[in-house]
Amino acid sequence: MHISNSMLLMTALTAGSAVARLHGHDRRHAHPRDIVDVDIKVEQPPATTPVPDAAEKRGLGAEVVATIDGQLVSWINEWSGQQSSESSSSEAAEVETTATPTSTATPTTAAASSSEDEAISSVSATPVASSTSSSSSSSSNWADYPSDGKYTTTGFGSSTASKRVGSLDWDYIGNVGSPWGSNMIQVEESSASGYKHVLRFENDNSKAWTVVMWNSYGPSGGLNGFWSPNKALSFTVEPGHSTFVAIDDNSQGGWGAAEGEGLPTNYVGEYASTWGEFDMSNSQNDDFSGWDVSCIIAELANMDIAGMQICNHEGEKCSSITSGAGSVVNAYTSADQGKPDKAVSQSAGPVRLVVNLGWSS
């Protein structure tokens, strides 16, 4: 893959390939894909170099050109890291939504929110459950499933209709929630088993960890959900505690996690900690799900690579990276960009994942 303006394209390729990676179950059709090389270099500015303003440092208005799997593609960078109320309103008006009732996942029609600022604040300010619960109750039934096969959607916002915005793997926008980000919520351990896709974040370390979650596509509709200040959900996991998160159908996104308060960002504004990535019951891929750990952004920016492990609740189908990327299992480093075969996949059905923050083997 040949790239010009590689600093800006890093965002689209790493996040875009995350969507493609999580669709690894497509390989069951015996149509192997060629693995392409990616030449990406991102350098942090020296301490003595003046920092440009937000528009300049993100290359606002610059043309980004790349050859991806033999196809020449280009676009104008329009992401400045700021949300405009005008663009947010017009984007929201274009989003086709379906409201999900609280008893089943069967949607009914509803209107989308017209204000992305209100959307973000309402998601962040109205958690469904407390952020932490004790991780000591190993006998918990959080990983059970409803006996009647019907999953609750209590607490989720309306489900947005999926759409394709191009022909590439990552040109697919699934459910981002209306308001944006309301497709993922914190839940109590006692109610977690009623949801279809549940993540249990565990902190067995001596210090608190911060987790910020996002949809791959941001509030304005661009492939920038993982740029600060975007966040669908944010919480702190105290030492010796766990936090439970439920995710709605057809959602694609991820999270960053770091010790202490807040997440680091790289020179162009992306969250630059170790990532977890997910794809839940993807409607364009027979409702398959997938997950992986990635340190691509942190590594390219020469920033700290923290450990993380994601496994199903039975301790199988694991993806992990240890501190400094000393050990990598079914996960992504900067050398793996564009490869479709690293992520873990699961056939249609409920998902129960355990995320170990600060993982060390």
- Predicted TM-score (pTM) above 0.75: no
pLDDT of res. 76: 56
H or E element that contains 357: strand 351-357
Helix axes 85-94, 116-125, angle to 10 degrees: 90
Question: Hey, is 19 helix, strand or coil?
Answer: helix
pLDDT of res. 128: 39
Alpha carbon distance 116, 94 (integer Å): 13
pLDDT of res. 163: 94
Contacts of 43 by beta carbon, 8 Å cutoff, 6+ apart: 267
| Cα first-last separation, the chain | 34
Q: Domain map of the chain by residue range? A: 3-357
Alpha carbon distance 285, 192 (integer Å): 25
Q: Label residue 230 exposed, middle or buried (CB < 10 Å: 0-12, 13-18, 19+).
A: buried
pLDDT digits (tens, 9 = 90+) for 24-43: 433 222 222 333 333 334 44
Alpha carbon distance 272, 267 (integer Å): 9
pLDDT of res. 340: 78
Tens-digit pLDDT string for the chain (361 aa): 323 333 333 443 444 344 434 444 332 222 223 333 333 344 444 333 333 444 444 445 545 444 344 444 455 555 555 544 444 444 444 433 333 333 333 332 233 333 333 333 333 333 334 333 333 334 448 999 999 999 999 999 999 999 999 988 789 999 999 999 999 999 999 999 999 999 999 999 999 999 999 999 999 999 999 999 999 999 999 999 999 999 999 999 999 999 999 999 999 999 999 999 999 999 999 999 999 999 999 999 999 999 999 999 999 999 999 999 999 999 999 998 878 788 999 999 999 999 999 999 7
